[in-house]
Amino acid sequence: MAKYLLIDFGSTFTKLCAVDTEAEDIIDTASYFTTVDEDISIGYHEALKRLYDKIGKDIEFEQVIACSSAAGGLKMAAIGLVEELTAEAAKRVCLGAGAKVDLVLSHHINKHEVQKILDENIDIILLAGGADGGNSECVLYNAELLGKMNVRVPIIFAGNKSARDEIENIFNKYNLDGYICDNVMPKVNSLNTEPAREKIREIFLNKIIEAKGIKSIESEIDQVILPTPNAVLEAAKLLAQGYLNESGFGDIVLIDIGGATTDMYSICNATKRSDVIIHGLEEPFAKRTVEGDLGMRYSAPGIIKSLSLQEIEFINKEKKVDIEKEVKKRYENVKSLPQNKHDEFIDLFLAEICAYRAMHRHVGRIEEVYTPMGKVYNQVGKDLTEIKYVIGTGGVIINSKDKESILKRTTNILHNAQELRPNDPKFYVDQKYIIAAMGLLSKINPLAALRIMKKNIVRI
Amino acid sequence: MKTIVIGVIGADVHAVGNKIIEYTLINNGYHVVNIGVLSSQEDFINAAIETDADLILVSSLYGHGEIDCRGMRDKCIESGIGDILLYVGGNIVVGKQDFSEVKKTFLDMGFNRVYSPGTPIEDALSDIKEDLGE
């Protein structure tokens, strides 16, 4: 017996995936609406019933584990000193841990900003600032203000190590829910993500899922082990890198267009070239960016905001639609699915914009600099030009009749020489919507998870 | 331990002197934060803030130092590190200009020490020791 049930408690759907790791394949999948407002187990039971109906019998699972982005997902605030350095490092750590980063604050924070942390129901604060041995004053000031304003959410200190003792004193003095870990930026421009990420996961497991009413399900299943985007990142890493003798895809890009966000993942080094000079904060090998203003339903208005008036007019004329009206319709009814060809056409168009814009913000840039010693290349961010695989997931891509058209928007269609977008990748789709589930399975049986992904993530 | 941020400013990729400076300063007991070549004023200043640096030592070898360094002191002031020591050296201007005038230009721009082409690092080192203490 090697059957596992993997659950993704999403913001809208609870998705179940039953796998047989001996056969190295999926038994079946099923889903139902997430019911976290009433009782999360209602939706789970309904989905389970559907799953058993599809399979034709009940199954006894060896383990039942879940990831969750229900009840708003994991909401974090990242605090640092310089915007481009420790604040950015803290933000990247939060994103890599699968969080939504609603607030990024830098330098000395003020009462107004702390009030925002309180108002926006932030789940965890990541407090950084200063390279090791560098500036302590700012991070101490910020910790003190969080204490004075009686912030009760967990605070992870991941700043200058020289400030640690005093930070502990502040945590004790104000009785804060404080945690200490290694600096996210121990040296200028070098990024240290793992310790803080692990700490975030720990707090997510011990506190956040309970606060969000998800913990109650653990009497019926084994454990909720990851925030969903973190599970996706784990799956993407495994699919790219392979496991032992089983090879992976190599460098990949994965895009997940959802109702509220567009998530972009790239698994590769910053560059393969030796003739470029790389600037700025170190890039993570497994990088995730999230666009909270680009989504198909909740965040559809953000798509309009990202367009100029001329562009909107052009679109309306060219496509013979009223794009603002269409977006409003989707925002007001977030559970709506396309009913006819027209709806499908609009969804496709919105998804294309999400893909294009999300990659625009994720990808690195290069510029030629003419120096007395000749031409040199200055690069900021990740070079994705040589990426061979772009993989799509999320309802709109999976259900679209023109998947390639959406995924193609991640490539360099406008021939912008500065943006280091994928040049000529192959396009794949997570047709059965299993990526998050495989991220979970990778924690138990990575080899099976990898082989199942290679079987079920298909070329289009 | 005193912290010094070093790097090469502007569209300038001369890396050798930069490494010699790093080596010498480390051997003399300083904490060196080397941001490398092709660095902007902001790169120097950001690194100095995060590391609580005592001194920024700017190298410029390709003759455009005056353009690249202009306004740097003001940016330091705006960024809250107005009191930081600023040194500059290398081939900071084009051609054979009278160095006393060049020096005055950079001092007026808010640099604390200005070095002429070919200055041995040891000379700068004794200034650093004087300004920062051993």
Chain A positions in Cβ-Cβ contact with residue B37 (cut-off 8 Å): 277
ipTM of the complex: 0.84
Q: Do A369 and B14 touch (CB under 8 A)?
A: no
Q: Would you call A259 helix, strand, or coil by DSSP? A: coil
Inter-axis angle of helices A341-362 and A309-319, to 10 degrees? 150
Cα atoms in the Cβ-side hemisphere of radius 13 Å centred on A182: 12
Coil, helix or strand at residue B60: strand
Euclidean distance between CA atoms B125 and B26, whole angstroms: 11
Closest residue in A to B40 (Cα) is: A279
Cα B57 from Cα B123, distance rounded (Å)? 14
Any long-range contacts for A57-61 (C-beta under 8 Å, 24+ apart)? A59/A3, A59/A5, A59/A18, A59/A27, A60/A1, A60/A3, A61/A3, A61/A4, A61/A5, A61/A18
If you count residue pairs, one on A and one on B, with CB atoms under 8 Å apart, how many are there? 69
Distance from CA of A142 to the nearest CA of B (A): 15
Min Cα distance A291 → chain B (Å) is 26
Is B13 an interface residue toward A (CB < 8 Å)?
yes
Yes or no, beta carbons of B43 and A279 under 8 Å apart: yes
Span B23-29, mean pLDDT? 95
- Distances in Å between the Cα of A186 and the Cα atoms of A194, A209, B27 are 12, 30, 21
pLDDT at A274: 87
Residue B103 in contact with partner chain A when CB distance is under 8 A: no
- The per-residue pLDDT for A435 is 97
Helix (H) or strand (E) holding A55: helix A40-55
Q: Taking CA atoms, what residue in B is nearest to A185?
A: B50
pTM as predicted: 0.91
Residue with tokens 């404080």: A178
Joined tokens for residue A162: 């020289």
In degrees rounded to 5, what are phi and psi of residue A198?
-65, -40
pLDDT in tens, B90-128: 998 887 789 999 999 999 999 999 999 989 999 999 999
Q: How far is B54 from chain A (nearest CA, A)?
A: 10
- The tens-digit pLDDT sequence of chain A (460 residues) is 699 999 999 888 899 999 999 999 999 999 999 998 889 999 999 999 999 999 999 999 999 999 999 888 899 999 999 999 999 999 999 999 999 998 999 999 999 999 999 999 999 999 999 999 999 999 999 999 999 999 999 999 999 999 999 999 999 999 999 999 999 999 999 999 999 999 999 999 998 988 888 888 988 999 899 999 999 999 999 999 999 999 999 999 999 999 889 999 999 999 999 889 898 899 999 999 999 999 999 899 999 998 999 999 999 999 899 999 999 999 999 888 899 999 999 999 999 999 999 999 999 999 988 877 788 899 999 999 999 999 999 999 999 999 999 999 999 999 999 999 999 999 999 999 999 999 999 999 999 999 999 999 999 9
Q: Please tell me the distance from the alpha carbon of residue B122 to that of residue B133, in angstroms, as a whole number.
A: 15
Q: Do B53 and A187 touch (CB under 8 A)?
A: no
Secondary structure letter of residue B64 according to DSSP: B
Q: Which H/E stretch holds residue A281?
A: none
Chain A CB within 8 Å of residue B14 CB? yes
Task: Give contacts of B 39-58 with A, CB under 8 A.
Answer: 39, 42-43, 46-47, 49-53
Residue A2 contacts by C-beta under 8 Å, 6 or more apart in sequence? Answer: A20, A21, A22, A62, A445
Q: Which active-site residues of B does the annotation give? A: 12, 14
What pLDDT sits at residue A275? Answer: 87
- Evaluate if residue B134 carries a pLDDT over 70: no
Query: What are the C-alpha distances in Å from A83 to residues A105, B49, B73?
Result: 8, 11, 20
